[in-house]
Structures are given as structure tokens and as C-alpha cells.
């Protein structure tokens, strides 16, 4: 099988882990006998010929693969910069993850909107587009502290906690001024969860790896990139099923589902990432790339779902 791994970086290739993750997936695919190309998506070009579209990579005609894996690291401008995925999907080539689910889940508001609409537990959230609705928002959330987030962001960036209305006002003014791409802020209740959260790596309809993350020092953010500590864990089946259901509702083939275990409300979905990092592999000892390639084989019709489960459990 010919597999194309399309990398959509948020920054240059130098020291960018997203390319290393793509190479890890490529190695796993080659071990299973597949031919693999890792492609920087910024190198694609389109030519609209009036009655057809031609696609080129580095100036050469694009050779259609049997399947494409989309590895999207960018946060802003996802819809515009992933047009190549739409073209590949229009040609009937299976894509893991598909373009529209990636666009939706790169936007934290849209993610919350979809999950809430199907009744899955999410953090109580208010969308602010300016400060005129701040008092209403605070009334919905109750007591301080509250958490403010930009609509786009990951690795704990664009997230702040506020202990009073005075500090919140000054912080929101700064966030809204600098958040020109969306001009919106998510205001959330602070969930008491012992400064811990849980990352569940979901591939298809199965949790393949899971870890507990603890925030460093006085910080409330448990992201590993921000200094948080991770360790392997085994969560109850109902928590794992919640992560799988979140991924299913968002139509994601691969996802990192972050869950808080609230002291008084139980498990709550915090965020869903369509390109979960591979640090979880080092912490848990689980190589998620093999599960990803097995799912790709299934999506391309190379193996059955039963064969995929047999491989996963062997």
C-alpha cells in the first residue's frame, strides 16, 4: 500500500517535533511492508484547468496514494491551509484524519459546541466576544477563580486563571487585543481536580495509551510542554468510553482527549486534540504508531476490522 503522510507545520521544519512524529509513523508503516512518503503540505500547488484540477508537489505531478494521513500542527488559518486535504478527499482517497473534523477541533468553541450538543460532559463555558457580556458570563459561572482561554491554542498557551474580577478585566482586555484572529475568548469555571488531568490517545474506537499529567508547582496547567509531569495510568472503563465517544462525535480517527476528574462532578472533557503528540509513548511505553498504521490499513480496505483488533491484542 502507498501511504502519504501530509505534515502541516505551525513553524519551520528545524527542531519541529511534528516532522519527527511523521517519520515515526513512516517507520511503522514500512515495517508492515508499505511504501511511505512524508510530505510538507506547504509544498503543494494547484492548477485549475477550467474542467479539471491538477495537483503538484514540489513542482511535479502528485502521485495519488492509496491513503493519506493528515498530521496538522497549525492552529490558525486551518481551513485555508488544508485545502490540499479537500482535493485529496474529492478524489476519493481515504484520509486519516479528515479535513473538516480537524478544522472543527482546532477551534475550542466548536469542539465544545459539538460535544455539548450530544450531551457529553464538558467544562461549563461562556463565549465572550467583547466585555459587555462579562457580567452575564460571570453570573453563569459562579465564584472565582475562573479560567480564560483563546479559541485557538495548545500546550497550555493562551490559557490563564483569574482570582478576581479586577484581574480578569485587565487580562481579558489584553487577550482580546492580541487575539485578532478570532476576537473571542472562552471563559470557563475552574474545575477542582487536584491539579491533574488525563490524556487518552484514541485511535479509531480504542484507547491505545493513557497517562496522568500533574501541574508543576503552583501552576494549574498540566501540559507536559509547560513542565508538567506524566505517568502511565489505567483509567476506569467508563472514562475510556467517554474519550472514545468524544472522538466519535467529532469524527476523528486519531485524537488526544484530555479529561479532568472533578472532585464533585466526575469525569469532564477538557479538550480534544486532532494531532496528539507522541510524548505519551515515552511515558507509557506504548508505541501508538502501529495502531495508527493498522487503522490506516483498515480505512484503505487492506485489512478487516477483526484483523485490526487481532493485531492490537496480539
Helix axes of 165-178 and 134-141: crossing angle, nearest 10 degrees: 120
What are 103-155's pLDDT values in tens digits?
999 999 999 999 999 999 999 999 988 788 899 999 999 889 999 988 887 76
Domains of the chain, CATH where assigned: 2-96 (3.40.50.20), 124-189 (3.30.1490.20), 196-313 (3.30.470.20)
Q: What's the alpha-carbon Rg for the chain, to the nearest Å?
A: 20
Q: Enumerate the H helices of the chain as residue ranges.
A: 17-31, 78-81, 83-90, 99-105, 108-117, 134-141, 165-178, 237-249, 279-284, 288-299, 305-313
What are 198-210's pLDDT values in tens digits?
999 999 999 999 9
CA distance 289 to 259: 22
- Compute φ and ψ for 11, nearest 5 degrees: -150, -175
Smallest Cα–Cα separation from 6: which of 60, 87, 105?
87
In this structure, are residues 214 and 196 in contact, taking their beta carbons and an 8 Å threshold? Answer: yes
- Looking at residue 263, what is its pLDDT? 86
Residue 251 DSSP code: T
List the grid coordinates of 250: 467529532
Give the Å distances, CA to CA, from 187 to 144, 146, 264, 265.
Answer: 11, 7, 20, 19
CA distance 36 to 41: 15
**Is the torsion defined by CA of 192, 286, 105, 158 positive or negative?**
positive
In this structure, are residues 239 and 267 in contact, taking their beta carbons and an 8 Å threshold? Answer: yes
Buried b (16+ CB within 10 A) or exposed e, 280-293: bbebbebebbbbbb
Per-residue pLDDT of the chain (314 residues; tens, 9 = 90+): 999 999 999 766 666 789 999 999 999 999 999 999 999 999 999 999 889 999 999 999 999 999 999 999 987 788 888 999 999 999 999 999 999 999 999 999 999 999 999 999 999 999 988 788 899 999 999 889 999 988 887 766 778 899 999 999 888 887 777 654 456 889 999 998 888 999 999 999 999 999 999 876 655 555 555 556 789 999 999 999 999 999 999 999 999 999 999 988 999 999 999 999 999 999 999 999 999 999 999 999 876 666 655 555 55
- Looking at residue 180, what is its pLDDT? 47
Verify cis geometry, omega within 30 degrees of 0, for the bond prior to 97.
yes
Percent helix, strand, coil in the chain, to 5, is 35, 30, 35
Amino acid at each position: 500500500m502507498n501511504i502519504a503522510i501530509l505534515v502541516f507545520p505551525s513553524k519551520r521544519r528545524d527542531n519541529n517535533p511534528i516532522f519527527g512524529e511523521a517519520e515515526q509513523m513512516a517507520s511503522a508503516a514500512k515495517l508492515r511492508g508499505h511504501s511511505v512518503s512524508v510530505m510538507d503540505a506547504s509544498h503543494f500547488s494547484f492548477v485549475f484547468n477550467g474542467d479539471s484540477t491538477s495537483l503538484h508537489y514540489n513542482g511535479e505531478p502528485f502521485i495519488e496514494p492509496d491513503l493519506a494521513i493528515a498530521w496538522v500542527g497549525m492552529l490558525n488559518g486551518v481551513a485555508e491551509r488544508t485545502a490540499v486535504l479537500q482535493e485529496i478527499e474529492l478524489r476519493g482517497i481515504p484520509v486519516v484524519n479528515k479535513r473538516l473534523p480537524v478544522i472543527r477541533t482546532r477551534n475550542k468553541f466548536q469542539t465544545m459546541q459539538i460535544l455539548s450538543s450530544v450531551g457529553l460532559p464538558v467544562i461549563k463555558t461562556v463565549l465572550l466576544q467583547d466585555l459587555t457580556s462579562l457580567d452575564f458570563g460571570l453570573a453563569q459561572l459562579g465564584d472565582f477563580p475562573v479560567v480564560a482561554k483563546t479559541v485557538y491554542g495548545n500546550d497550555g498557551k493562551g490559557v490563564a486563571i483569574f482570582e478576581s474580577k479586577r484581574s480578569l478585566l485587565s487580562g481579558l482586555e489584553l487577550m482580546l487585543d492580541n487575539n485578532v484572529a478570532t476576537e473571542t475568548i472562552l471563559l470557563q469555571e475552574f474545575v477542582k481536580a487536584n491539579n491533574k488531568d488525563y490524556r487518552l490517545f484514541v485511535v479509531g474506537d480504542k484507547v491505545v495509551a493513557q497517562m496522568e499529567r500533574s501541574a508543576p508547582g503552583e501552576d494549574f496547567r498540566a501540559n507536559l510542554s509547560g513542565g508538567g509531569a506524566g505517568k502511565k495510568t489505567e483509567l476506569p472503563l467508563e472514562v475510556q468510553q467517554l474519550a472514545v465517544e468524544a472522538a466519535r462525535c467529532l469524527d476523528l480517527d486519531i485524537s488526544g482527549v484530555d479529561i479532568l476528574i472533578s472532585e464533585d462532578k466526575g469525569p469532564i472533557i477538557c479538550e480534544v486534540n486532532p494531532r496528539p503528540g507522541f510524548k505519551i509513548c515515552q511515558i507509557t511505553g506504548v508505541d501508538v504508531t502501529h495502531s495508527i498504521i493498522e487503522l490506516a490499513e483498515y480505512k484503505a480496505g487492506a485489512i478487516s476490522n477483526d484483523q485490526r483488533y487481532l493485531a492490537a491484542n496480539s
